[in-house]
Amino acid sequence: MSLEKLVAVSGKSGIFKMVGNRSNGLILQDLDTQKRIFASSRLHQFTPLESISIYTEDENQQDETASLAMVFTNMIDNMDLYPPVSPKASGLDIRQYFAKILPNYDRDKVLVSDIKKIIKWFNYLTERNLISRESLAPVAVEAGEEEE
């Protein structure tokens, strides 16, 4: 599944699939139960996963960010060598892990809490077999990577 329809919702744990929108909120589907709920935009903030970027210190990149799809792809590619650390690990361990996944991430702008969210989302989606390198590939190609 691509990140296009997946959203994080403030005040709700996990990730949801957006199945519809209204002027006053979104209709979301729980990825486990498939149950649909309405989430009001007055009570919640919605963050589409495809819109999330991580600050980098790469002078060659024009916008100096890496898409979440690219980070997830790196995590998948390095899963055997560097399995994700627990989101409850120390801040130092979390930063060391993320430096292996995205070596050029901006250590001043990217907080440990941001990395914890990324790890939680990655674990949540991989436990449910909802992301794979193939499902993320079109987004990664748009972010400037070349297809093989």
What is the biggest distance separating any 2 CA atoms in the chain, rounded to whole angstroms?
46
Compute the mean pLDDT over every residue in the chain, rounded to the nearest whole number. Answer: 88
pLDDT at residue 61, as a whole number: 57
Same domain? For 65 and 138 the reply is yes
Confidence of residue 1 (pLDDT cuts 50, 70, 90): confident
CATH number at residue 86: 1.10.10.1650
User: Which residues 6+ apart lie within 8 Å of 107 measured at CB?
Assistant: 95
Residue range 126-147: average pLDDT?
67
67 and 84 both lie in a single domain = yes
pLDDT score of 146: 45
pLDDT of residue 137: 73
User: Same structural domain for residues 83 and 27?
Assistant: no
Residues 32 and 69 in one domain: no
Decide if 148 is inside a domain.
Answer: no
What is the mean pLDDT of the segment spanning 11-18?
91
Question: With 50 as the cut, is the pLDDT of residue 144 above it?
Answer: no
**Domain assignment of residue 97, given as a range:** 53-142
Mean pLDDT of the 116-124 span: 95
- Cα separation, 73 vs 45, in Å, equals 26
Q: Are 110 and 38 members of one domain?
A: no
The tokens for 128 are: 């449910």
70 and 137 assigned to the same domain: yes
Nearest partner of 140 among 112, 99, 102, judged by Cα:
102
Same domain flag for 65 and 117:
yes
Give yes or no for residue 99 having a pLDDT over 70.
yes
Same domain, 70 and 105: yes
Portion of the chain with pLDDT greater than 90, in percent:
75
Helices and strands per DSSP (H, E), number in the chain: 4, 7
Model confidence, pTM: 0.84
Q: Per-residue pLDDT averaged across 125-141, rounded?
A: 77
